[in-house]
Structure 1
Amino acid sequence: MLLDALELIGIAAFAASGAVAAVRARLDVFGVVVIALTTALGGGALRDVLLGVHPPTNLVTWPYLLVASVTGVVVFRFHPALARLRRSVLLLDAVGLGLFVTSGTSTALALGVPAYAACLVGMTTGIGGGALRDVLLREIPLVLRREIYAVAALAGAAVVAAGDRLGLPAGLTALAGSALIVALRLVALWRRWNAPVPKEH
């Protein structure tokens, strides 16, 4: 029950971040909802495709679709007020990233996927929706730019995989992995940490 609630929070967080980006791109209400759905559910769909789960869980679980759609409409309607809540949206995005990465890694491990592959599946679950959002909005995906995003996701996935290898409780390692991802993401934003980029000549 708690895991389901946390996953819905993560979906709402990602849907909000996608909808905000769509509003900034001046899309209509349908476009905003589509981008919200893509951002919120895209990573989970990619996870299920990689793991051979058909049809993707996100697409046959109506609360996920409902929460993402309603979030998109709410952002479209109240975006002037939400624009002042940029920090809150970034916090929700970090929480969503943590929840999605750890759930994706745990799902892969439960299906017998090797630890290194489970980490990659978990990372893809967390960053996939955002990457699809950026492609649809004709932007270079955030994860390929300078911000510490994918690195934080991979670190949290590694915590979950290590906990599984050591036989630790799954809930504890998922919580620890999520906390690490959120902490790394927020500290990186606060300190303006960036991954190295090529030097200009």
Structure 2
Amino acid sequence: MPHALYLLGIAAFAASGVLAAHRANMDPFGGFVLAFAASISGGTLRDLILDRHPLYWTRDWLLLLVIASVAAVTMLYLRRRTLPHRTLMVVDALGLAVVTVIGARAALDAHVTPVAVLILSVLTGVTGEVIRDVLCGEFPPLLLREEVYATAALAGATAYLLLHGAGAPDTLNTAASAGLVFALRLAAIFRDLHLPRLQRTTT
């Protein structure tokens, strides 16, 4: 179950990378670069912090095959169809929801402190998006705008940690926590849910 779920999140991030490359008018090579960057950056950073070697994706040929396949299929689809403007954000929301929860599970398995679980979960979820946006020349990245993004990941990671501590079944915990992240992101996308901007004080 966790590996299949992780493949789903990775596939969503791979598609979001290609969609971002398409919007930035990149060539197919750029599409593949962004697909891989968006998909594996968060997990790579998490494993480096936890000193887990070898890195998870260096031994998982299926994961790499999924990324490449999803990237290729998405690029072929985009040659024939135009996707709605919000498609990138919705697909990215799915990836964020799944990968954040997987990050929480990996951090718990490493027996780190609760605060570290939250930090590693958020880093796992948002790092790929930051790198994708930077490579596309989007400044500031989505993470640093007022939209609910990292805060959605933090909410999901907190829910996962609390439910785990309460002894909830892992399947229920995973579904509820990922669902919370996804719902918050959809609210941000379609209902303009956002954090208040920093206001300049006047004297």
TM-score (normalised: structure 1): 0.91
Which residue identity is paired with 1:84? L
Contact 1:10 1:92 in 2 (8 A): no
Contact 1:75 1:82 in 2 (8 A): no
Task: Look up the match of 1:17.
Answer: 16
Greater share of residues in helix: 1
Task: Look up the match of 2:56.
Answer: 57
Count residues with an aligned counterpart: 200
1:168 to partner: Cα distance? 2.3
Task: Look up the match of 2:183.
Answer: 183
1:165 to partner: Cα distance? 2.0
Contact 2:20 2:88 in 1 (8 A): no
Task: Look up the match of 2:107.
Answer: 108
- Percent identity reads 38
Contact 1:10 1:100 in 2 (8 A): yes
Q: CA RMSD in A?
A: 1.8
Deviations 1:131-184 (A, max 9, x none): 111122222211111211110000000011112222222222121111111111
Whole-angstrom CA distance in 2 between matches of 1:4 and 1:84: 29
1:75 to partner: Cα distance? 2.2
Task: Look up the match of 2:147.
Answer: 147
Contact 1:16 1:71 in 2 (8 A): yes
CA distance 1:84–1:60, shift in 2 (3 Å): same
1:104 to partner: Cα distance? 0.5
Structure 1: 4+ residue segments shifted above 6 A: none
Whole-angstrom CA distance in 2 between matches of 1:173 and 1:16: 26
Query: Unpaired segments of 5 or more residues in structure 1?
Result: none
Task: Look up the match of 2:83.
Answer: 84
TM-score (normalised: structure 2): 0.91
Which residue identity is paired with 2:21? A
Deviations 1:27-52 (A, max 9, x none): 21111101111001111111111111
